[in-house]
Amino acid sequence: MIRSVRGKVLLLSFRVALAAMALACGASVALSQGAEIAFGTLAHDQSQPVEVTADRLTVDQTDGTAIFSGGVLVGQGEMRLSADEVLVVYDTEAEASGRIARMEAQGKVVLALGDEAAEAERAVYTIDAGTIVMTGSVLLTQGQSAISGERLVVNLDRGTGTMEGRVRTVLQPGSPR
């Protein structure tokens, strides 16, 4: 299963790179400070278990954290996230031991949900809020469309997102009738 998931992440990374090249070369460009976008064509259930694979795991019981490093791949339902390193912060106030409060990914972060993919330098997934905030040279691809900016806030419950910080996209004109 891990090989097929890694293959999907690599394919999505390739699609994101191609979209970045198209975005850089596009002649018809829209620029603004913020843009509302739809995100997550699939219903995402953040109560599903989180599966993590990595080359290394370091646990700190004193502050309730775990650091996964080296080719990290996180899966939850249909959502996939890959990064160089992921910090898992456990909810120390919850009665249920081992409950994840948030995950902080950094280094070549790629998030995939359905046919949508986003890459950034950093991402923070707050489980209970159902939000993912991606920062640092964010590029989002949705099918043939791409949009870039400095910060993407995704609300998984509503399937919406907001791109901020010098937003750029290439608009494809409709086909002639």
Confidence of residue 157 (pLDDT cuts 50, 70, 90): confident
Residue 51 confidence (pLDDT)? 93
Give the model's pLDDT for residue 14. Answer: 42
More confident residue, 16 or 46: 46
Q: How sure is the predictor about 92, in pLDDT bands with cuts at 50, 70 and 90? A: confident
Model confidence at 88, in pLDDT bands (50, 70, 90)? very high
Average pLDDT over residues 143-160: 89
Query: What pTM was estimated for this model as a whole?
Result: 0.74
pLDDT of residue 62: 84
Average pLDDT over residues 105-120: 92
Q: Which two tokens stand for residue 21?
A: 């090249």
For domain 2-170, give the CATH number. Answer: 2.60.450.10
Reported confidence tier of residue 161, pLDDT bands at 50, 70, 90: confident
How far apart CA 54 and CA 66 sit, in angstroms, is 12
Compute, in degrees rounded to 10, the torsion defined by CA atoms 108, 152, 54, 99.
Answer: 160
Helices (H) and strands (E) counted in the chain, each on its own, are 1, 10
Give the pLDDT score at 40: 58
Tell me the two tokens of residue 19.
């979209």
pLDDT of residue 26: 38
What are the respective helix, strand and coil percentages of the chain, to the nearest 5?
15, 55, 30
Mean pLDDT of the chain: 78
CB within 8 Å of 172: residues ≥ 6 apart: 28, 144, 145
C-beta of residue 40 within 8 angstroms of C-beta of residue 132: no
Asked whether residue 70 carries a pLDDT value surpassing 90, the answer given is yes
Cα distances (angstroms) measured from residue 136 to each of 38, 91, 177: 20, 27, 40
CA distances from 174 to 50, 148, 171 (A): 41, 21, 9
Domain boundaries, the chain: 2-170
